Copies of this chain bind each other. A is one copy, B any other.
Amino acid sequence: MAPKRSQTELAVLGALSLAPMSGYRVRAEILSTVGHFWAESFGQIYPALARLEAAALVSRDDSGRYLLTDRGRLRLAELLREAPESAPPRNGVLLRLFFGRKLGVDGCLELLDRMEHDVALKMRTFAEIRAELDPSDPDERFALITVSAGEHNGRATLAWIAESRIALAAAPPASPASDAGPESAAR
C-alpha cells in the first residue's frame, strides 16, 4: 500500500527538519548521521526534493536552501508514524556459509575473517560517534539509541564469528568439500 517512495521522502524531510540546507547537504547529512542504517543517492534525492517542492512540503529560501513548510512538518510526523517497511534481507555472507559444503571450510573461514575486520572497523567508528554525542542533549539521545543498536549488533556478530570458527574447526570428519566439483583437484 504505502509506496516505498515515501521512505526516501521520510529521510529527506527528516534531514531538513534538522536545518535548512541544499540538496547536496541533505545527502551529506544523511550519510553522516543515519548512514549506518540508511542509504540515499543523488539520483533519489534530487527527484524527491522536486516532488516535495511541487507538493509544497518544502520550499526554498532566498539563498536556495530547502526548508520544511508547515505541511512538510505535518507530513514528516505522518510518515514517522507509518509502519516501517524493512527491505527483504539479502545477506551474502550467510548465503555463502549456508552452502559451505561446496565452498569448503577454508573459504568459510576467510569469509568470517573479512567480516570480523569489517565489523571491527564499524565498531571503531561507532565509538567515535558516541564520543562526540552529548547524552544530556535531548536531541542526541535518539542518535545515541541508534548508535547503540549498531554496537549491540556488532558485538553479537563478533561473538557469532568466534563461535562459528570453532564449529568449523570441529567440522571436517567428512572429506573436506568432497563434492566441490572437478576443480577440487586443481586447487
Contact = CB atoms under 8 A, between A and B. Distances in A.
A71 to B, nearest CB: 10
A69 to B, nearest CB: 11
A32 B80 CA distance: 33
Interface stretch (A19-27, A46-54, A55-63, A94-102): A94-102
B99 A17 contact: yes
B148 A94 contact: no
A164 interface: yes
A67 interface: no
Contact of A102 (B77, B85, B88, B107): B77
A130 interface: no
A73 interface: yes
Interface in A66-96: 70, 73-74, 76-77, 80-81, 83-96
A128 B168 CA distance: 22
Instruction: Tell me whether chain A's interface is mostly helix, strand or loop, or mixed.
Output: helix
Contact of A146 (B37, B85, B98): B98
A92 B85 contact: yes
Contact of A103 (B81, B167, B172): B81
A11 B84 contact: no
Nearest to A144: B167
A52 B184 CA distance: 22
A91 B160 contact: no
Interface of A: 7, 10-11, 14, 17, 33-34, 36-39, 70, 73-74, 76-77, 80-81, 83-103, 107-108, 111, 114, 138-139, 141-146, 148-149, 152-153, 155-157, 159-160, 163-164, 167-168, 171-174, 179-183
8 contacts: A37-B91, A39-B90, A73-B179, A77-B103, A97-B149, A101-B138, A138-B172, A153-B153
